[in-house]
Amino acid sequence: MTDEINRRIRTLLPMACDGVGPSQTCLDIARGMQAAGADIDVFVNRISVPKGRLPVKSLLSGPFSRIPYPWTKGILTRILEEWYLHNTRETDVAYLWPGTSIRVHREIHRRSIPIVLEGINTRMKHAKSVLDAAYEELGATPAHNITEQRIQEEEEQLSLATSILAPSPAVESALRGHPIASRVISSSYGTHVPSRLPPLASSRRQSEVVFLFCGYACVRKGIHHLLTVWPRMPSTARLRIVGRIEPLIAEKFSRVLSSGQVELTGFVNDVAAEYAAADVFVLPSLEEGDPLVTYEAAVRGLPLLVSAMGAGRLVHASWVIEPSNQDELLHALSAVHLSRCLRQKLGERAQAAVTAHDWTVVGEKRLRGISQLLCRGYVAGINK
């Protein structure tokens, strides 16, 4: 960044950094921005993974990080937010992650400090309508926990913010109609891209074709659409679900889940081994930010058979399907199952595209986006 906008980026992540989920994503992004020259630090409740050279300010670390997190989450978050407010200056940029209380948003805005939000999922106002319709289609009570109160709070956060980092086209689209839409910083998530990429999944020779679904198998991820058509797939196609199963899905699709056509692993620590053993990656998600699993599958040369939500920024390197269109979904599954040549072509395309999404590249682009935003005059007090 130039001297004119050389602000410290104060990151608030009110959660535990245990090496998974949004907390790990935040650390990867921060390291990428640091490598690009950012003066950045991260405030967290606790950390149990190596910090490296990244300045991480943690309330709990070492042996104290092993205390069961639910016991300490509430009090830690309150103390962390006070610590963050005490250390954040008018010359900083406040980089706020979901989970930050509305009180902090209001106080930072009152001080005329630029606020940059992280849009890990689509706007709740949009997500609720999508998920309500999906649960209604299944004849079930919505289990997404998006309340009107949470929606109102997020809308206020957006109104107080200077900008928001949107990791996917879906996040950008969901912000249309809000004043912040003109100040969105287009970004992405990513992965660690090795200097030597793994061999394509299509290079393996085997009689079965393994389709991998990785993540919480829930309505939000569109797993019900996949399980609806899966009984029509041939016996040489195997669906492997790596992750927990939503109770509603387990109940409504118990027959197919126990038919022998589907393998369930539950939660696993070695996800890399699952990618290595798969032939096709499938994610018919209905609502997402920018799924990390899609990038991880692309690195390993897996064909990406995904919804637009599941594709994220890799949409042009994916076979994009409409999950609710059973004929379209079955056609795509069948075509990829039958043709090794097609799997190779799709795998090559995915692997080539993901090289532009290494965390170092992602961090540099994000830093540039924040810098350009401030250069255009979007500084403290813009929303007053």
Do 41 and 109 fall into the same domain?
yes
**Closest to 124 (Cα-Cα) out of 156, 155, 160:** 155
Tell me: the pLDDT tens digits for 249-267? 999 999 999 999 999 999 8
State how far the Cα of 318 lies from the Cα of 325, in Å rounded to an integer.
17
Domain boundaries, position 176: 3-190+359-375
Same domain, 287 and 340: yes
Give residue-wise pLDDT tens across range 25-77.
Answer: 999 999 999 999 999 999 999 888 888 999 999 987 666 666 676 667 788 89
Residue 335 lies in a domain: yes
pLDDT at residue 88 tops 80: yes
State whether 169 and 239 are in the same domain: no
Average pLDDT over residues 139-167: 96
Task: Please tell me whether residues 80 and 205 are part of one structural domain.
Answer: no
Say what the pLDDT of residue 67 is: 67
Predicted confidence band at 380 (pLDDT cuts at 50, 70, 90)? Answer: very low
- Fill in the amino acid letter for 383: N
Q: What are phi and psi for residue 358, nearest 5 degrees?
A: -65, 150
- Give the type of residue at 260: G
Say what the pLDDT of residue 5 is: 52
Q: How far is CA 161 from CA 76, 171, 290, in A?
A: 24, 16, 21
- 9 and 147 share a domain? yes
Domain assignment present for 277: yes
Residues 158 and 98 in one domain: yes
Q: Are residues 155 and 266 in the same domain?
A: no
Say which amino acid occupies 77. Answer: T
In a shared domain, residues 261 and 291: yes
Lowest mean pLDDT, pick from 58-62, 93-97, 220-224, 247-251: 58-62
Q: Are residues 100 and 75 in the same domain?
A: yes
At 246, which CATH number?
Answer: 3.40.50.2000
Q: Give the tens place of pLDDT for each residue, 319-342.
A: 999 999 999 999 999 999 999 999
Taking a C-beta distance cutoff of 8 angstroms, is the pair 49, 88 a contact?
A: no
173 shares its domain with 322 = no
Task: Please tell me the distance from the alpha carbon of residue 245 to that of residue 264, in angstroms, as a whole number.
Answer: 9
pLDDT for 179 equals: 93
Q: Do 226 and 86 share a domain, yes or no? A: no
Contact 93, 370 (CB under 8 A): yes
In a domain, 380, yes or no: no
Question: Which phi-psi region, left, alpha or beta, contains residue 21 (left: φ > 0; alpha: ψ -120 to 50)?
Answer: left
Confidence at residue 73, expressed as pLDDT on a 0 to 100 scale: 75
Residue 108 counted as domain residue: yes
Mean pLDDT computed over 180-197: 95
Counting the structural domains of the chain, the total is 2
Among 142-146, 207-211, 259-263, 376-380, which is the least confidently predicted range? 376-380
Hey, how many other C-beta atoms are within 10 angstroms of the C-beta on 159? 13
Question: What residues are paired with 41 via a beta bridge?
Answer: 10
DSSP states of 163-193: EEEE-SHHHHHHTTTSGGGGGEEE----B--
Cβ neighbour number for residue 224 with a 10 Å cutoff: 24
Query: What are the pLDDT digits (tens) for 365-375?
Result: 999 999 988 87
Kindly state whether residues 96 and 139 are assigned to the same domain: yes
Pairing of β 93-96 and β 115-118:
parallel
Whether 124 maps to a domain, the answer reads: yes
381 is a domain residue: no
